[in-house]
């Protein structure tokens, strides 16, 4: 999977512009004049990794709460107007950011901007509505607990990045969410939601000057805040953890290792390594675990990358009786990558797979909007599609092997197992 870099637009057929208001608000646009729609996003540069243990989940809580009513609209009026604009209004919270977005016809941009800006700048945080949304989020937390392929990732993160905010669930815990007071929510909102910490991005059939006028109308009066979220590098814990959960028909497994960070030059080789391991139907893990031995329906690798740390992880779910065998085959494929250089044919095919995914992603204006924003947030500049493809093309066989040897060391591999079986010890000497 392509988790270590974003997918920017093809600059040959588009135009990107950037404006910064006096209060620090950044506005980015990419004009694509052959479409009739606009994808508009408001990015708040704070997520779960910027929270204290007491605040765990508050970014996600606020992301929900702002939709429950503003000074201008009730929650029903927000929903009704969103539906009239095409129903493309949504939001999400990650470890890094909170993102609000809407997709609408180009002629509806003023209405879409008015709705999105109202949600982000004028929430009322009614006590009654906060209590309703608290109940919704508590149910969401229970839903994750009932979804083992999601739960195992939270359990892995809590072990791999223990004693750090990255190890806490984005949605928070039942205890932390239950303790959020209205005053705490308002204080955190006022601290985080200020112009220097907000990015407005639009792609599609949009005029940049018009977008800046809209941003000025709704955001220029806001004062630049002083607080900017701080990120720290976590200490990584390489250990085997086994969690028991009743009524599971399968055992869910994650194996993870430290990978190059989001901003490291080696991220391109890391992406190629991950794709060779478990990035598609022809990947080594899929062919070995599923096609050759029939041990799992799904097996894949992915990269979760941040500024100061990253993890290359392998996920699979197998029957309770096949855990040791499945892990042995995974370790075997890892060892093969460490000991035997990949062929030119495999490297070429993997590069072509990544390039194709990048080019296909450019067909989505929403994807292009996200890419434009993420490159600004994490790199402070526009990164062209041509630049990424060039970097991928330059990765050599020895770089992939050296990276595998560096990150897949026997004392630097973490494993999390979620099973209905009793806890067992696993021998990692086979690495």
| Structural element, H or E, at residue 301 | strand 299-305
Hey, what are 344's tokens?
């030119």
Residue 254 makes CB contacts below 8 A (sequence gap 6+) with 152, 153, 156, 313, 314, 315, 415, 416
User: Phi and psi dihedrals of 19, rounded to 5?
Assistant: -135, 140
Closest CA to 45 of 318, 209, 228: 228
Alpha-carbon dihedral angle through residues 313, 316, 322, 328, given to the nearest 10 degrees? -30
Hey, what are 39's tokens?
């994808």
Hey, what are 47's tokens?
């997520």
User: Phi and psi dihedrals of 202, rounded to 5?
Assistant: -140, 140
Buried b (16+ CB within 10 A) or exposed e, 310-329: bbbbbbbbbeeebbeebbeb
Q: Is 63 designated active site? A: yes
Q: Find the angle CA(88)-CA(89)-CA(90) to the nearest 5 degrees.
A: 115
Inter-CA distances, 375 with 106, 260, 382, Å? 24, 17, 6
Closest CA to 374 of 92, 40, 96, 103: 96
Among 30, 51, 55, 63, the active-site one is: 63
Closest CA to 100 of 284, 328, 410, 366: 366
User: Phi/psi zone of residue 396: left (φ > 0), alpha (ψ -120 to 50 degrees), beta?
Assistant: beta
Closest CA to 66 of 118, 123, 121, 115: 123
DSSP 90-113: EEEE-SS-EEEEEEEEGGGHHHHH
Alpha-carbon dihedral angle through residues 360, 363, 368, 370, given to the nearest 10 degrees? -70
Query: Contact, 16 vs 195, CB < 8 A?
Result: no
Query: Contact, 255 vs 330, CB < 8 A?
Result: yes
Closest CA to 143 of 135, 421, 53, 97: 135
Enter the DSSP assignment of 320.
G
Residues carrying an active site annotation = 63
């Amino acid at each position: 999977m392509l988790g270590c870099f974003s997918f920017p637009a093809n600059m040959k057929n588009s135009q990107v512009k950037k404006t910064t208001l006096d209060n620090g608000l950044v506005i980015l646009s990419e004009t694509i004049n052959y479409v009739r729609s606009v994808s508009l996003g408001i990015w708040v540069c704070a997520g779960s990794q910027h929270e204290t243990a007491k605040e765990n989940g508050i970014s996600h809580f606020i992301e929900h709460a702002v939709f429950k009513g503003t000074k201008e609209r009730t929650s029903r009026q927000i929903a009704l107007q969103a539906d009239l604009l095409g129903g493309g209004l949504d939001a999400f919270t990650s470890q890094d950011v909170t993102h609000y977005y809407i997709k609408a016809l180009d002629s509806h941009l003023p209405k879409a901007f008015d709705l999105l800006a109202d949600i982000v700048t004028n929430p009322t945080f009614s006590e009654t509505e906060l209590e309703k949304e608290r109940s919704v989020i508590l149910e969401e937390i229970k839903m994750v607990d009932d979804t083992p392929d999601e739960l195992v990732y939270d359990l892995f993160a809590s072990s791999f990045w223990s004693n750090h905010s990255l190890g806490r669930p984005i949605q928070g815990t039942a205890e932390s969410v239950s303790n959020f007071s209205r005053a705490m929510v308002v204080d955190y909102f006022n601290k985080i939601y200020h112009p220097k910490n907000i990015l407005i991005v639009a792609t599609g059939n949009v005029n940049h000057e018009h977008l800046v006028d809209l941003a000025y109308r709704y955001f220029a009066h806001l004062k630049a805040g002083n607080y900017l979220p701080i990120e720290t590098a976590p200490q990584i814990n390489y250990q085997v953890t086994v969690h028991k959960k009743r009524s599971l028909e399968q055992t869910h497994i994650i194996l993870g290792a430290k990978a190059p960070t989001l901003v490291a030059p080696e991220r391109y080789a890391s992406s190629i390594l991950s794709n060779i391991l478990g990035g598609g139907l022809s990947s080594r893990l899929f062919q070995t675990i599923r096609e050759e031995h029939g041990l799992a329906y799904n097996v894949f690798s992915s990269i979760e990358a941040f500024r100061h740390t990253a993890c290359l992880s392998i996920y699979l779910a197998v029957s309770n009786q096949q855990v040791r065998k499945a892990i042995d085959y995974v370790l075997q494929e890892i060892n093969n990558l460490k000991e035997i250089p990949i062929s030119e044919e495999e490297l070429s095919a993997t590069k072509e797979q990544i390039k194709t995914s990048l080019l296909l992603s450019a067909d989505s204006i929403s994807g292009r909007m996200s890419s434009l924003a993420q490159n600004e947030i994490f790199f402070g500049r526009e990164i062209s599609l041509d630049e990424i493809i060039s970097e991928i093309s330059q990765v050599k066989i020895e770089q992939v092997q050296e990276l595998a040897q560096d990150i897949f060391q026997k004392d630097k591999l973490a494993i999390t197992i979620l099973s209905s079986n009793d806890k067992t010890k696993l021998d990692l000497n086979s690495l």
